[in-house]
Structure 1
């Protein structure tokens, strides 16, 4: 059984979000800001300081695209809000950098996504944590709001339009309804989602938490040791057999992604040729080519 690893480097951070998360800044592009992360506080009320005529979506409401105004979740939307928050503490007049915003609040957004979806292993699905915050113009006008949310990712890593709520969607066997399958093998490329009944080369089989993102990133050797043991065991459980024609691969974060809340490694079942149905509980049966 072969084993592979792939580190998500800072240079591939945006691509890496096809696995786990994406973000949008509303109304503007972040300008250069402080090098230290801003503190943040949560709230259940719209943040003060923005345009008074615009209401910002609250927890359990949905938004479409980069517009933070709420839309009916029963109608097409891209993001479902899991938490409403505002940045606290002394803040500069100019918007903070994207990395400062992510370091300040995205670990919280990731944790809120797990609670909202009903399973902390959501990185092995096409559902991802999302973050929106006040854009440059609103920021300069005094707005300090941000919104955590969840979205379903398409093949290009962007949020796809959907209808209905995903609250508690992963409770029970829900992971199987949203499982991440990828067209390309994860040992060779950052995987982009594809439907599991379409030709694919891998399926996510496990997520292994490696620590607290507020603590230092574990050594590469620790990731490797854990992956070789736990990903291999997870693969055998997923297949309900040990096979030589299905290998195990994994992805792990770099230091920057770790600080942003990506504190686990994701294990994959990988095939040499595309398969057209799930490998779950395949046992010793022929591959569904």
Structure 2
């Protein structure tokens, strides 16, 4: 029987400063992730064909095994079995593996709790997503890393598989149905997946919309903050300079009606690999066109 669960990644109430280039006042925003990501775990109905990756511990040689998609194949919903990427699907697999060591040693009962699995595996999924999508700046896009692993029934049968993947996310961080592969999608057409927001990232979580719809901010890139968790002051000091430069390069000029802003991850998200600051070009008024390369020209309508 197919089962699924989900966890919502926590947000933080710590304040993060926003610098408004060329404006008189600074605005304060919340240090929450640039997008809430709801992460689902799933496993499918056991089949008659052995899984392609090795299993660890506890399973009978004669036990039925779940058919699980491999790298480059696609998943749809809660079923881990492969579907054609040309058909509707939600996740494209970027990395496959099995749990080992203490994490994979439990021979019966439920799999490890989701927070433990994410701390252990999700940083690898983030790295795999960057390579697969062709850009380490994918947090500024509507594409995100995903993770699925064996449910309790499959775990009790001795199977320890997990799959990293990528998905196109809606404004709530849930995967949307799509067709076609997104391998190298950001290397080929980042603007087609760029995050635009109807809200100001300086004040609240971005609400993602297509950039062709009215929006008040455009994600322009990310800034790597290193391995150690920075302090609030260190976050802001790094973002102030780096995001200001990214917005200037994105727009092509310094403008009083476009300001750099940024958001950073909370400690929960940091532990599972979200170690980037996401930079935004924040607009004085809503526009339906991008401010990319507008220079000193009139703002798009």
Q: TM-score range by the shorter chain?
A: 0.7 to 0.9
SS at match of 1:229: helix
Number of equivalent positions: 262
> 1:203 aligned to 198, 212, 218, which one?
218
TM-score scaled to structure 2, two decimals?
0.81
Q: 1:27 & 1:56 partners in 2: Cα distance?
A: 9
Following TM superposition, where does structure 1 have runs of at least 4 consecutive aligned residues deviating by more than 4 angstroms?
Answer: 2-5
The structure-2 alpha-carbon separation of the partners of 1:5 and 1:45, relative to structure 1 and needing over 3 Å to count, comes to farther
TM-score scaled to structure 1, two decimals?
0.84
What is the deviation of 1:52? 2.8
Q: Does 1:178 align with 2:193?
A: yes
Q: Deviations over 1:126-166 (max 9, x none)?
A: 11001111122222332211110000012232111111101
Conserved 8 A contact 1:119-1:170 = yes
Quote the residue 1:113 is aligned against.
129
Two-structure CA RMSD over aligned residues (Å) = 2.1
Q: Deviations over 1:96-129 (max 9, x none)?
A: 1111000000000000000101111111111100
What is the deviation of 1:54? 3.1
Q: Deviations over 1:69-104 (max 9, x none)?
A: 100000110000000111001333332111100000
SS at match of 2:279: strand
Conserved 8 A contact 2:146-2:166 = yes
> 1:45 aligned to 52, 56, 60, which one?
52
Q: 2:54 & 2:35 partners in 1: Cα distance?
A: 29
Quote the residue 1:142 is aligned against.
158
Quote the residue 2:39 is aligned against.
23
Larger radius of gyration: 2
Q: 2:85 & 2:112 partners in 1: Cα distance?
A: 31
Q: 1:139 & 1:54 partners in 2: Cα distance?
A: 10
Gaps of 5+ in 2: 1-20, 45-50
Q: Does 1:151 align with 2:167?
A: yes
Q: 2:53 & 2:67 partners in 1: Cα distance?
A: 7
SS at match of 1:150: strand
Conserved 8 A contact 1:3-1:248 = no
Gaps of 5+ in 1: 9-15, 29-43
